[in-house]
Chain A
Amino acid sequence: MIPETVSVRDGTQPGAGAMDVFLLQVLNGLDKGSAYAMIALGLTLIFGTLGVVNFAHGALFMLGAFCSVALNKLLTLEKIALSETEMTAWGTPLEIRTPYAEAWFGDFGAWVIDWSVPLSILIAIPFMLLVGIVMERGLIRHFYKRPHAEQILVTFGLAIVLQEIIKAWFGANPIPQPAPEALTGMMDFGAAIGMDAGNVVYPAWRLVYFLFAAAVIGAVFAFLQFTTFGMVVRAGMADRETVGLLGINIDKRFTLTFGIAAVVAGLAGVMYSPILSPNYHLGMDFLVLSFVVVVVGGMGSLPGAVAAGMLLGILQSFASMNEVKAIFPGIDQIIIYLVAVVILLARPRGLLGRKGVMES
C-alpha cells in the first residue's frame, strides 16, 4: 500500500499571500524553537560547566509542566458534599463539588484559578531550584569525573524514576492546562508589525510563550554576562581547572548553575503546558530532540543552543508544509535528524561551538 500523495491546494483565500504563510510558519518555528532553546540552554550550560551529560533534563522540563498541573489541582481542590437527592449512574449519592478557592475567595479565587499557569511560575522557580540543587548535590556531583556513558546511564535512570513517580501520582493521560481566559484568543500579529490586518493572526498564548522564552534566555545571558558569579561560571566553562586553581570555590557555583539550568527547563515546561497538555512522558519526547539541538548548536555554547533551537524549530515547520512534503514525502519525519547529520559532517563543532569540545 503506497501512501497517497498529499493533494495540495494553493492558498487562494483572499489576502492569504505566500508571505503570510511564510510568516506563520516562522512563528510556529520560533514557538517550538523557544521550547527547544530553553531546554537545550540548560543542557549545554550543565555540560559546559560540569562536564555532565544530563539525560534527566527532559524530565526537568516535564516536572516544570507538572508544577502548573499541581498548582491547578491544588487550587481546584474541591469541597465534596454528598447530594441527598441525586444519585450517580451507579447508584451512589452524587458528589457536589465546589473548589475551595472559589468557595472561600469568590471572584478572586476564580481569577487565581484562571491564571494558574502563569502563577505556577512562582512555585516552579523555588521548586525547580530545589530539585536542581538536590540533584546536583545528591547525585550529579559524584559523577563529574565518571565516563559519559555512566553519566548517561545514571541520569537516564533518574529520568525514568521521576517520570514513573509522576505517572503514579497523576496518571498517564495528558492533563489539560488552559491558558488564562484573557490570553486564549488570537492576536493580529501582522497588524502589530505593520502588515495588513487580519492576515497573520496568531494565538496570543503562543506569542506570550515566545516573549517569555526571550525574556528567560535574555535573563540567563545577562546574568552570566554582568555578574561576578556569571563571570566565574563562564571562565569555568572555558577552563575549569584554571578557575579551580585560582582558589575560587567553583563547586558551590556549579551547584547553583545546575539549579539555574533546572529552573530554565522547568519554566519552559510550565508555560508550555497550555500548548501541550502535560503527560508523564513529555520529558522523554523532548530529550532526544534537545540533545540534537545542543550538538547542532555546539556542545557548551549557549548562543549556539538558542540559535540551533530556533533554527531547527523553523526548519521543522517548513518541512511540514504540504508544498515541501509533496516533493519529499516524509521529510517532516526526519528533517531534524537530517539537519543534524549534515551540520555535524560539515561543521563538527556545531554552529557556534568551540573546537575540540567532547571530541573523543
Chain B
Amino acid sequence: MINFRLDRRGLLKGGLAAGTMLAAPTILTRSASAYTNEPTGSNVVLGFNVPQSGAYADEGADELRAYQLAVQHLNGEGDGGMLNTFSSKELQGNGVLGKKVDYVTGDTQTKSDAARASAKRMIERDGAVMITGGSSSGVAIAVQGLCQEAGVIFMAGLTHSNDTTGKDKKANGFRHFFNAYMSGAALAPVLKSNYGSDRKAYHLTADYTWGWTQEESIAASTEAIGWETVAKVRTPLGAGDFSQYITPVLNSGADVLILNHYGRDMVNSLTQAVQFGLLDKMVNGKKFEVVVPLYSRLMAQGAGENVKGIFGSTNWHWSLQDEGSKAFVKSFGQAYGFPPSQAAHTCYVQTLLYADAAQRAGTFNPCGIAEALEGFEFDGMGNGKTLYRAEDHQCFKNVLVVKGKDNPESQFDLLEVVDEVPAEQVTYAPDHPMFAGGELGACNPGA
C-alpha cells in the first residue's frame, strides 16, 4: 500500500527539476485518507502536550492527570465524572465514534520549539488527530499554528493571552480558558467596590507578549472605573529578585500595585512586594493594595502566606458548588488524593468537548469537528452556561474573581471565590481592538 501526502498547491507551482524528480510518485497515487491521521483501526489517538520540565512542570503534571481521567471517562472506566453533568448526552462511555481513546504524551518544556517538535512527533509518528495542553501562551500560539498547518485540531490548555484567540487565532484552534480581557472585565467592578474609584495603579509587567496583553487589558478596565495608571514597568522574565522594581513603587505615589506576572515571576514578585511592606503602607490616605490579575492555585501555593487578601481572577476553582465541578472534583480527588487545578479542569473539559464534537459530527475530520464546536452551547462543565463562539473559537462563560483566603483550612484551600462574574459581563465583540489583526482562516483537514 502506498499513499502520498502531498500538497496539491505545491504541485501546481512545481515544475523545476529538483521538484519533479522527488515529487513524481505523487502523480501516481492520490491520498487515500480524507484528512490527516484518519483513524482506521479500532482506536483513536489524542496527543497530550504538556510541560514536563521547566517552570510549569507541576501544572503540566496536573494537566496530564486530568487528561488520563478524561480518557478513562470517555472509555467508560471510572465514575464518568463530568460526562454525567455535561449538557450534551452524545458520549456513551464507549470511546468516541465507537473507537477506544488512546493517548500519547510529550514535553513542551515551555519552549515553542520543543512544543512544536513534540506535537509533530505525535502527529507524524503516533497518528494523533488532536493535540491539546500547554501552560503558556507562547507555546499555545506556536502549537496552534502547527496544528493549523498539519491539519489537526488544537484544543488549547492553559493560555491566557488575548492573542491566542485574537490576532493569532486559527481555524483549527479552540480555547476554553479565559483571557486577559476577561480578567480585566471581571476584576474591575470588584476592585471598584472594594477599593473605590480613586486609585493610582502601578503595573509591573513580565516583559513578553502575554504580560503586555494583560497589562493592556487590566489598565483599560481599571481606567474605565476611574483609576489612574501611574506607571507601567516591564520586568525581565525570570528576574528572580524583583526588589529593584519594587522599591520605586514606594515613592511613586501609587496606591495599588498590579502584578502582571505568572508562574515563578508571580510567586517571587508577590512574595517580595509583601516583604517590602507594601501591604502595610498607607498612601494617599488609603491602604496600599496589590492585585494579581491571573491567579493559579498551584502558584498561590508557591507564594504561601503572601496571597492572603489579594484579589485576582481565575478560570475555575475546585470549591465551586455546581454539579459539574463537584463531579469532577470527586473523580479527580478520589483518583489522586487532592483537588484539581484550573489547568487540570480546562484540559479535562477540552478533551470532553472535543470528543463530544466528534461524536456529534460523526467524524474526526477537523473541519467537521470545528463545525460542531463553533457556536456550540453547553452547560454542566463547571462555569455555567458556556458558548464556543464561532467567530474566534473562544469560550464565553462565567469568570471567577478570587481572593487569597485569610484562614485556609488545608494546603489546597488558598483561594476563596468572591464573585462569579456572569459571561455577559466579560463578553466582547469579535473585532474588539485588543483582539484585532488576525484572521481565523479556513479549517485545514490536512492530507
Direct contact of A and B (CB under 8 A): yes
B385 interfacial by beta-carbon distance below 8 Å: no
Query: Within the complex, what minimum Cβ distance (angstroms) separates B60 from chain A?
Result: 8
**If the complex has contacts A8-B231, A322-B233, are A317 and B244 also in contact, measured as CB distance less than 8 A?**
yes
Give chain A's interface residue range (CB within 8 Å of chain B): 35 or more
B20 CB-CB contact with A under 8 Å: no
Contact B244 A320 (CB under 8 A): yes
- The reply to whether A28 and B240 contact each other, CB–CB distance below 8 Å, is no
B275's partner among A4, A203, A332 (CB-CB below 8 A) is: A203
B251 touches A20 (CB 8 A): yes
Knowing A89-B339, A91-B333, A176-B306 touch, does A29 contact B252 (C-beta < 8 A)?
Answer: no
B330 near A90: Cβ-Cβ < 8 Å? yes
Indicate if the CB atoms of A173 and B299 lie closer than 8 Å. Answer: yes
Binds B, one of A49-57, A116-124, A151-159, A178-186: A178-186
Q: Could you tell me the distance in whole angstroms from the C-beta of A146 to the nearest C-beta in chain B?
A: 29
Q: Is A290 an interface residue (CB 8 A)?
A: no
Contact of B56 among A31, A92, A172 (CB under 8 A): A172
Interface status of A175 (Cβ within 8 A of chain B): yes
Using CB atoms, name the residue of chain A closest to B266: A174
- Pick the contact of B334 from A9, A90, A279, A330 — CB < 8 Å? A90
B241 near A178: Cβ-Cβ < 8 Å: no
Chain A residues with CB below 8 A from B238, complex form: 285
The segment out of A11-19, A129-137, A234-242, A340-348 that lies at the interface is A11-19
Tell whether A184 pairs with B56 under 8 Å between CB atoms, given A178-B304, A276-B241, A279-B264: no
Q: Mark A1-36, 1 if CB is under 8 A from B, else 0.
A: 101101111011100100011001100110110000
- Contact between A24 and B267 (Cβ–Cβ < 8 Å)? no
**A254 on the B face (CB < 8 A):** no
* B301 contact from A16, A173, A321, A330, Cβ within 8 A: A173
The complex places the Cα of A196 from the Cα of B389 at a distance, in Å, of 59
**In the complex, are the beta carbons of B232 and A172 less than 8 A apart?**
no
Whether the Cβ atoms of A89 and B329 lie closer than 8 Å is: yes
**A1–B293 alpha-carbon span in the complex (Å):** 23
Most buried by A among B251, B305, B329: B251
B344 to chain A, nearest CB (A): 13
Assess whether B360 is interfacial by the CB under 8 Å rule.
no
Question: Please, which residues of chain B bring their CB within 8 A of the CB of A20?
Answer: 251
Q: Is the interface of A mostly helix, strand, loop or mixed?
A: loop
Give the residue name and chain of the B residue nearest to A280 (CB): B57
Contact assessment for B303 and A321 in the assembled complex, using a CB-CB cutoff below 8 Å? no
Give every chain A residue within 8 A of B425 (Cβ-Cβ): none
Chain B interface residue count, CB cutoff 8 Å, equals 58
Residues of B within 8 A of A316 (CB): 244
Interface string of B271-285 (1 = CB under 8 A from A): 110011100100000
Name the CB-closest residue of B to A177.
B304
**Inside 8 A of B371's CB, which chain A residues have their CB?**
none
Query: Given A6-B232, A167-B57: A206 and B275 within 8 A (CB)?
Result: yes
A176 touches B302 (CB 8 A): yes
In the bound assembly, the distance between CA atoms of A274 and B326 in angstroms comes to 36
Q: Which residue of B lies closest to A321 (CB)?
A: B248
- Rounded to whole Å, the gap between the CB of A87 and the closest CB of chain B is 10
B207 within 8 A of A: yes
Nearest Cβ distance between residue A142 and chain B, in whole angstroms?
A: 29
CB distance from B136 to the nearest CB of A (A): 14
Q: What per-residue 1/0 map shows which CB atoms of B47-86 lie under 8 Å from chain A?
A: 0000001111110010000000000000000000000000
Tell me the bound Cα distance from A9 to B303 in angstroms.
29
Chain A residue at minimal CB-CB distance from B252: A9
A88 on interface, CB distance cutoff 8 Å: yes
Residue of A at shortest CB range from B215?
A: A4
Q: Which of B76-111 contact A (CB under 8 A)?
A: none
A329 to chain B: closest residue by CB: B234
- CA gap between A25 and B249 in the complex, in Å: 12
Q: Does A281 belong to the interface (CB within 8 Å)?
A: yes
CB neighbours of A274 from chain B (8 A): 275
Not counting A31-B241, A171-B58, a sample of 14 additional A-B residue pairs whose C-beta atoms are within 8 angstroms of each other reads A3-B234, A9-B230, A11-B251, A16-B250, A24-B250, A89-B329, A91-B334, A178-B304, A185-B277, A206-B243, A275-B272, A320-B235, A320-B245, A332-B244
Q: List 7 A-B contacts (CB under 8 A).
A: A90-B334, A91-B334, A174-B268, A185-B277, A275-B241, A285-B240, A330-B207
Q: Which residues of A contact B (CB under 8 A)?
A: 1, 3-4, 6-9, 11-13, 16, 20-21, 24-25, 28-29, 31-32, 88-92, 95, 97, 167, 171-176, 178, 184-186, 201, 203, 205-206, 274-277, 279, 281, 285, 316-318, 320-322, 325, 330, 332-333
Which residues of B line the A interface, CB within 8 A? 53-58, 61, 207, 212, 229-236, 238, 240-241, 243-245, 247-248, 250-253, 264, 267-268, 271-272, 275-277, 280, 298-299, 301-306, 318-319, 326, 329-334, 337, 339, 410
